[in-house]
Amino acid sequence: MIDTANYRRYFADYFWKDSATVSRAGDGYDDIGALAYENKIVYENVPCHLAIQSANALTATDTPRALTAATELVLCLSPAYDIIAGDTVTVTTHTGQRYELFAADGFKYGTHQEVRLTKEGDADAVSL
């Protein structure tokens, strides 16, 4: 049997240099008593590693010159965390880049888990 604890320590010490904050929509009430679905922080400063899965894919819309960009990334982190589809994950890389992404369900291994993340938005700098 493989001792996965040693590998988890290795990942944490040498590979997971980025940090993530995970937020999840929760039902609560606003100041007038109405039901409000606001994001609540579930995990903060989680050691992780963010990697690109696929390069930006540009998609044309019905409006001329309007393009959207979609980027798929993978987040590697400890299997101790439960990431579920729809979570908002804010990752700050060890180089200072900051990304706000949307998560799919995590896939857990004995040593780590991988979570596919998506970033979508307007391709403002692209013109035809």
112 vs 79: CA distance, rounded Å: 5
| Residue 126: per-residue pLDDT | 41
Q: What are phi and psi of 27, to 5 degrees?
A: -90, 130
39 vs 25: CA distance, rounded Å: 4
Q: Is 33 left (phi over 0), alpha (psi -120 to 50) or beta?
A: left
* CATH number for the domain formed by residue range(s) 4-122: 2.40.10.270
- In the predicted structure, residue 115 carries a pLDDT above the cut 80: yes
The secondary structure of the chain in percent helix, strand, coil, rounded to multiples of 5, reads 10, 60, 35
- In the predicted structure, residue 48 carries a pLDDT above the cut 90: yes
User: Which of 55, 73, 77 is CA-nearest to residue 123?
Assistant: 55
17 vs 118: CA distance, rounded Å: 20
User: Per-domain residue ranges for the chain?
Assistant: 4-122
- CA angle at residue 104 from 59 to 89, to 5 degrees? 90
Give the mean pLDDT of 44-69. Answer: 73
Q: For the segment 83-114, what is each residue's pLDDT rounded down to a tens digit?
A: 999 999 999 999 999 999 999 998 999 888 99
| Residue 36: per-residue pLDDT | 67
Q: Higher model confidence: residue 11 or residue 128? A: 11
| Residue 121: per-residue pLDDT | 59
Return the H-helix or E-strand segment holding 108. Answer: strand 98-108
Helix (H, G, I), strand (E, B) or coil at 85: coil
Q: For the segment 57-78, what is each residue's pLDDT rounded down to a tens digit?
A: 555 556 656 666 778 899 999 9
| Residue 11: per-residue pLDDT | 72
| Residue 94: per-residue pLDDT | 92
Q: For the segment 14-37, what is each residue's pLDDT rounded down to a tens digit?
A: 778 999 999 998 766 667 766 667
